[in-house]
Structure 1
Amino acid sequence: MTPRPTILAMGAVAVDHVLVTEAFPREDSKSRVVREYRVVGGCIGTAARAAAALGAKVKYAGKLGTSSEAELVLQALLRSGVDTRLVQRDETSQPIRSVILESEATHSRTVLYNLEDCAPASETWPVEEEISSSDLLLIDHFGMEGMLRAARIAAAASIPIVADFEHDARAEFVELLSLVDHLILAREFALRITATSSPAAACDALWTNARQVVAISCGNEGLYYRDRSTAKPKQMPAIRVIAQRTTGCGDVLHGAYTAAYLRTRDVPHALKFGVAAAAAHAEKPWEDGASIELKRVEQLLAQTAR
């Protein structure tokens, strides 16, 4: 039997404390909290869990301490089917801690995050063989030195790299961006780093002959993408659902795209699968965390085919 391809995931994991109010609070005001709960998030934490829940073989390499928050993250990864044997444990390393304020009326949200004692990607972990023997590398921007090392090793071994970027503050980001061949960015970030005014223009600005795809996600407007089969960017519509949340949809799209691409090597299909998974995530209540059901994703995909 041929072994399943393996995704190596490296990047941010978080514990999100969600506070839901009836309407988004104004500055210097008081608002009643109508619901509150904790979920495991983070760019790569959410993407890795989504990919594993949708049938991919995923390994997570990072550092987690022994606090209750770290244990919460570890158990969430395990429940989703993520292999955690590459997680380094120590006494002090914390996941990112976030407080998320969400409006019940509009589902808009603001994320307040704390990076104190958080351990970014290591410059020496995982060992080179773990990276070069993987079938795909899934990364974000958290820990630039470690991410650059992993991306250089993967690129030298012709291993596909999928990136979930949100920040470009470090000078090394330019090199990291150049190494990614499957680039999926949120619209606001893409427009800012390209100094363009439309998702299609951002696709063109970010396109190079070394890329397999550039996609710009635009929420309920779907996404724009350019791949090697298209001479100019194309639009892919969103799948309409009754949204319960928006936080994490982009990360789920990354994870689902990664799982589908490894299975089919078909970029447009993998993007459609990612869009369907993001819709399935959006329609579930917050308390379900990153839970994604393959059956529901396939139902949403079937709707788009009709």
Structure 2
Amino acid sequence: MNGRRSREYDVLGIGVVAVDDLVYVDCYPTAEEKVRVRRRRRQCGGQTGTALVAAARLGARAGYIGSLGDRDPLSRTVRRRFDREGIDLSHCVARPDARPYHSTIIVGRRPPTRTIFSSNEGHAGADPQLPAADVIRSTAVLLIDHHAIEGTRRAVEIARAAGVEVVADFERDSGEGFCELLARVDHLVLPERFAVEWTGTGSAERAVSRLWSPDRRAVVVTCGADGCWYGDSETHESPRHLPAPKVNVVDTTGCGDVFHGAYCAGLAEGKNVDQCVRLASAAAALKATREGGQAGIPRRDVVEQFLAGWK
């Protein structure tokens, strides 16, 4: 892999960004039940958006190269947040009809839960022709998700030809072209539910082995409070398990996305798979101790201090 300083960016993301309206309740209601709202807050979210914020807070030079509007209130909200986080938007594809996802997230305290209601009206994701190939070649790591397959496949092929590491956050089969896209990913980092469902294996451990291919560098299956299973070229037949750090869980919103962003940041620094998984696990666990998705993402000094005490 090329060194960190030989590329303009450490991490470029192409996928979902969102505006989230979080509603905090004591316990998620059953049917026909009324509950009191403790608090509301609006913040930015989305798989790729949250991952990029996590990478940036860990010190990565990050940029977003998907599509956004330039005048609508939701797109302006995302643009302002990325600007504050130091995430570059100079190669973001501006389309007047494009919008971020808009989600309402119900966060329960007892037990800790989160339920997401989302609208993708106007969401464009990866453009099938933009940005220019040289932009995609200018990063160490490209982060993708399962949206806008045509544009994402183009970006992946350009990245792989240039030696850029491709990391994927897939949560579902998005239809035509998805299987081909999945096969072209270097680092497949999937949630347990989808990995087990896709492979039909019944366990995260077996899913790692099933998802392996000679073209991959790593397969990671995240299991929330149960940690993660992962394998690389040497360990995919006998995957390793890293237990999740023990923390006081307050809000799990965005934890999986933070895992992806931290993994990408570690990869861009030249860390090996073991080190990337450990960094990602620590960042995700710390995020779970704080309310909010992006608002709760830790910065590098906090993560390093936590890692030093995590045995």
The letter for the 2-side match of 1:254 is H
Report the identity percentage: 37
SS for the counterpart of 1:264 is coil
Residue 132 of structure 1: aligned partner: 137
Which of 21, 31, 35 aligns to 1:31? It is 35
Q: How does 1:284-295 map to 2 (within 5 A)?
A: 284-286=290-292, 289=295, 291-295=297-301
Which of 104, 107, 110 aligns to 2:112? It is 107
Residue 68 of structure 2: aligned partner: 64
Aligned-pair CA distance for 1:290: 5.0
Residues 1:180 and 2:215 aligned together: no
Residue 264 of structure 1: aligned partner: 270
Distance 1:89 1:211, change over 3 A: same
Q: TM-score w.r.t. structure 1 length?
A: 0.95
Aligned equivalents of 2:302 and 2:10: distance in 1?
A: 24
Q: TM-score w.r.t. structure 2 length?
A: 0.94
SS for the counterpart of 1:302 is helix
Residue 79 of structure 1: aligned partner: 84
Aligned equivalents of 1:184 and 1:226: distance in 2?
A: 11
Aligned-pair CA distance for 1:162: 0.3
Report the number of matched residues: 305
Distance 1:13 1:233, change over 3 A: same
Residue 55 of structure 2: aligned partner: 51
Unaligned segments of structure 2, at least 5 residues: none
The letter for the 2-side match of 1:33 is V
Distance 1:188 1:63, change over 3 A: same
Contact map agreement 1:37 1:287 (CA 8 A) in 2: no
Residue 307 of structure 2: aligned partner: 301
Q: How does 1:128-207 map to 2 (within 5 A)?
A: 128-207=133-212
Deviations 1:240-285 (A, max 9, x none): 1111111110110010011011112311001100000001111112
Deviations 1:196-242 (A, max 9, x none): 11111000000111111101101111100011232410100111111
Aligned-pair CA distance for 1:287: 7.5
Aligned equivalents of 1:264 and 1:148: distance in 2?
A: 25
Residue 21 of structure 1: aligned partner: 25
Aligned equivalents of 2:164 and 2:299: distance in 1?
A: 28
Aligned-pair CA distance for 1:170: 0.7
Aligned equivalents of 1:170 and 1:270: distance in 2?
A: 30
RMSD of aligned residue pairs (Cα, Å): 1.6
Moved over 6 A (4+): none
Distance 1:266 1:38, change over 3 A: same
Distance 1:252 1:288, change over 3 A: closer
Aligned-pair CA distance for 1:128: 1.2
Unaligned segments of structure 1, at least 5 residues: none
Q: How does 1:217-256 map to 2 (within 5 A)?
A: 217-230=222-235, 231-256=237-262
